[in-house]
Amino acid sequence: MKPADQEETSAGGVVVRHDAGGARVLLIRDACRNWGFPKGHVEAGEAVGAAALREVAEETGLDGLAVRADLGAIDWRFRLRGRPVHKRCHFFLMETARSDTRPLHAEGITACRWATFDDAERLLAYENARAILRLARGLVIPGEGSRRLPPPPAVPGDGACAGAEARDLTRADAGPPGA
């Protein structure tokens, strides 16, 4: 009998600020040198929007964030120490006027970087993050972006820096890994 998936829920933000050069998006770099969005676990009893604000503030040092839109959630599966994990991460479009950041090194955040949408699309390590970026871009820059999320990539690994096994959970026929 297969062990049941461990369920994890996270929340995070696509943080945007505007300057003379246009809109900028905040990216964080993890200990594996992958660029992504600030996010983290939702605590028991915590609303996902509140968790997203808390996690972004903790990981980047930004405060005064304003939530502008719910960008939806992405799902993926991976293995952690041999156990299957199903993770769902809710993302929110946020705005700030501040540019100064402070990466939370204790959580493995090695850098924060403001990037244009085009640069962010090239820097983001995972396709599902790029899909969330395109949704945000369509809201920030009307006429651009995409309202359709593609499936996450399937990559081998145990959830460590090498990658994680991911499955598209938005399709009705999506089964467990290896199905």
Q: What is the pLDDT of residue 6?
A: 83
Q: What is the pLDDT of residue 3?
A: 65
Domain that holds residue 12: 6-140
Q: Is residue 73 in a domain?
A: yes
Q: What is the pLDDT of residue 144?
A: 60
Give me the number of domains the chain comprises.
1
Q: What is the pLDDT of residue 145?
A: 52
CATH of the domain at 41: 3.90.79.10
Q: What is the pLDDT of residue 142?
A: 67
Q: Is residue 153 in a domain?
A: no
DSSP codes joined into one string, 121-141: HHHBS-HHHHHHHHHHHHHHS
Q: What is the pLDDT of residue 78?
A: 82
Q: Is residue 156 in a domain?
A: no
Q: Is residue 37 in a domain?
A: yes
Q: What is the pLDDT of residue 113?
A: 97
What are phi and psi for residue 4, nearest 5 degrees?
-70, 150
For each of the chain's 179 residues, which pLDDT tens digit applies? 566 778 888 999 999 999 888 999 999 999 999 999 999 999 999 999 999 999 999 999 998 999 999 999 998 888 888 888 888 999 999 999 999 999 888 888 999 999 999 999 999 999 999 999 999 999 998 656 544 433 433 333 444 444 333 333 333 333 333 33
